[in-house]
Amino acid sequence: GQNIDQPTEMTATEGAIVQINCTYQTSGFNGLFWYQQHAGEAPTFLSYNVLDGLEEKGRFSSFLSRSKGYSYLLLKELQMKDSASYLCAVSDSNYQLIWGAGTKLIIKP
């Protein structure tokens, strides 16, 4: 079966760095996405990785290792507004997205 695993909840301090991991087992791979979702709102696109390595975009970076079926989202200089759920999704061999359950990130002052 297809499976995406990510931690249910994480807590971090304002101004710090946090890494949210995602491991996957899917039938085929056509890229991995990270989305941010504030409570009661729609998910918004953060990043897309299809090749191994690190993609940096401002305070957010995303890493992919296809051989390990592993990705992480790195958030630097955390702000209170970063409190949200972070969703990992993999595009499978049919270009359909398989979604993880999301990681709820709590930022404390």
Instruction: Report the interface residues with other proteins, using CB under 8 A.
Output: 4, 8, 30-31, 33, 40-45, 48, 50, 87, 89, 91, 95-102
- Which residue, 40 or 109, has its beta carbon nearer to other proteins? 40
- Which residue, 18 or 85, has its beta carbon nearer to other proteins? 85
- Which residue, 94 or 109, has its beta carbon nearer to other proteins? 94
- Which residue, 41 or 77, has its beta carbon nearer to other proteins? 41
Query: Token digits for 35?
Result: 């989305």
Work out the end-to-end distance of the chain between its first and last CA atoms, rounded to an integer number of angstroms: 40
Query: Token digits for 60?
Result: 């957010």
Taking the mean position of all CA atoms in its chain, how far away is CA 35? 6
Q: How far is the CB of 50 from other proteins (least distance, A)?
A: 7
CA distance 90 to 103: 15
Phi-psi region of 15 (alpha: psi -120 to 50; beta: other; left: phi over 0): left
